[in-house]
Structure 1
Amino acid sequence: MANPSVEAVDTSSDKLMLIAGVLLFLAGFVAFFWLSGQEWYVRGAALLVGIAAGVVVGLFSSPGKSFIAFAKDSYKEVRKVVWPTRKEATQTTLVVFGFVLAMAVFLWVSDKSIEWVIFSAILGWK
């Protein structure tokens, strides 16, 4: 049974676009190192142009368009989130710190009790 969340690239034009995008992306890196004798801004521009061209070509493919739609839907969902107020966040943080402190004390008492039972009561070490 196929996994519905995995998207296969079916058409040859999509495959070619993705390959071209990857090649342009890599060309930006190659140009950056190939232009090692040039100024830093020339090398940086070559790198950025290659990366941007690769990303743009990749986004025009079918998987790229699906990614853009997914990103838009995700942004809409994030805008629906009700974030806690400052007071709620502070109270929650204090509860977490209190619980961590209580657990630390409990584990310390447990450790010292087991240590006392084993080393003092059973083995007789001092």
Structure 2
Amino acid sequence: MASSQVETVSTGAEKAKLGAALLLVVAGVAGFYLLGRQGAVAQWGALALALIAAVGVFFTAERGKELAGFASDSWREVKKVVWPTRKESIQVTAYVFAFVVVMALFLWVTDKTVEWVFYDLILGWR
């Protein structure tokens, strides 16, 4: 069955929006370092404002809208998940721990048995 989605071609305006968002990020980082003598508040303020503006510009572009739609759909799917109860989580965790202990004992016994067979019986090193 073929997908009914149509892939759009980026227009000049879309590329300009993405470029502007990228330039705002670069300007924010540059401003952070250039405002070193002005104090931490000015540095972090410039960075925060530039990043907020970059995010705003990005979400006006088509790719930003697609990302927002994807995030919305993902959140809707997460809400559909049936999460285990506290009791179920504790029981499964206990089963995992018990299995780990049993496997550790099994591997230890196997290792000691192989060691005994090779070193004591076959080679007689002890």
| TM-score of the pair, normalised by structure 2 | 0.89
My pick for the range that moved more, 29-38 or 110-119, is 110-119
Q: In the superposition, relative to structure 1, how do residues 8 and 119 fare at CA in structure 2: closer, same or farther (>3 Å)?
A: farther
Q: Which runs of 5+ in 2 are unaligned?
A: 1-6
Q: 2 CA distance for matches of 1:115 and 1:109?
A: 10
Match of 1:38 in 2: 38
Q: 1 CA distance for matches of 2:44 and 2:8?
A: 34
Q: CA deviation at 1:110?
A: 1.1
Q: Which runs of 5+ in 1 are unaligned?
A: 1-6
SS state at 1:50 partner: helix
Residue identity over aligned pairs, in percent, reads 47
Q: Is the 8 A contact 1:25 1:54 kept in 2?
A: yes
CA RMSD of aligned residues (A): 1.4
| TM-score of the pair, normalised by structure 1 | 0.89
Q: 2 CA distance for matches of 1:43 and 1:34?
A: 8
Aligned pair count?
120
SS state at 2:38 partner: coil
Q: In the superposition, relative to structure 1, how do residues 9 and 114 fare at CA in structure 2: closer, same or farther (>3 Å)?
A: farther
Q: 1 CA distance for matches of 2:81 and 2:50?
A: 36
Q: CA deviation at 1:9?
A: 5.8
Runs of 4 or more off by more than 4 Å in structure 1? none
Q: CA deviation at 1:78?
A: 0.7
Match of 1:94 in 2: 94
My pick for the range that moved more, 43-52 or 113-122, is 113-122
